[in-house]
Amino acid sequence: MEHFGQKVKETRIVKGVTQKGLAEGICTQATISNLENGSSFPGLGTLLAIASRLDIDFSEIYEHTELNGNGYSEVFKQIKMLCGKEKYKEAYKSLTTEIKVENLETNSEIKHYYYYLGITSLLAKNNFSDAFYNLNLALFTETGKHITSIDVLISTGIGLAYQLNSEESKAKTYFERGLNQLDSLKKSTSG
């Protein structure tokens, strides 16, 4: 976790955010200080809020802590890697055989699960119905006020599903939403 604390510190400094500013509405300034110097670390909810505010990708938290002890961090990392290599059938199989949705403990885990289930249903199985259903479950899973990269992926994933289903006007709506979210994400990380 020390490495993640260092990542928080470096990102905070690059963005010109003080410890007090980062902590505002999330935790105390002392919590940020303790995380950065590696003397202690907060709970998962606080870590997710800090990462979201600094636009540190969800996967980086996975790299440094096993979420709620359910052991799914490595599975999600593997699924992300497989999707990045366009091995959607393997990702789908891993997702559906190695993760039990009832054991997911945070909204962020649930959001990622349904995103990956939706996108792999679409690209591995050509199952538009399941893709729409799961991507919409991901879309409506609340994880906080701030837009994150997964929100952009979900919107563009729905757009892609409509595009592949020859529903151009609906696809355009979600692609535009994804672009707007990306603009918001860029603004929140540069200011």
**Structural domain boundaries in the chain:** 1-66, 72-189
Chosen CATH of 72-189 out of 1.10.287, 1.10.1060, 1.10.8, 1.25.40:
1.25.40
Q: How many CB atoms within 10 Å of residue 106?
A: 16
What are the structure tokens assigned to 73, written together?
A: 């961090």
Residue 124 has pLDDT above 90, yes or no: yes
| CATH superfamily label, 1-66 | lambda repressor-like DNA-binding domains (1.10.260.40)
How far, in Å, CA of 87 to CA of 168, rounded? 26
* 47 closest CA partner among 35, 29, 33: 35
Judge whether 1 and 65 are in contact, CB under 8 Å: yes
pLDDT digits (tens, 9 = 90+) for 130-160: 999 999 999 998 876 778 888 999 999 999 9
Q: With bands split at pLDDT 50, 70 and 90, how would you rate the model's confidence at 58?
A: low
Range of lowest pLDDT (19-23, 69-73, 154-158)? 69-73
What are the structure tokens assigned to 55, written together?
A: 């636009």
How far, in Å, CA of 132 to CA of 161, rounded? 7
Residue 41 has pLDDT above 70, yes or no: no
Percent of the chain with pLDDT over 90: 49
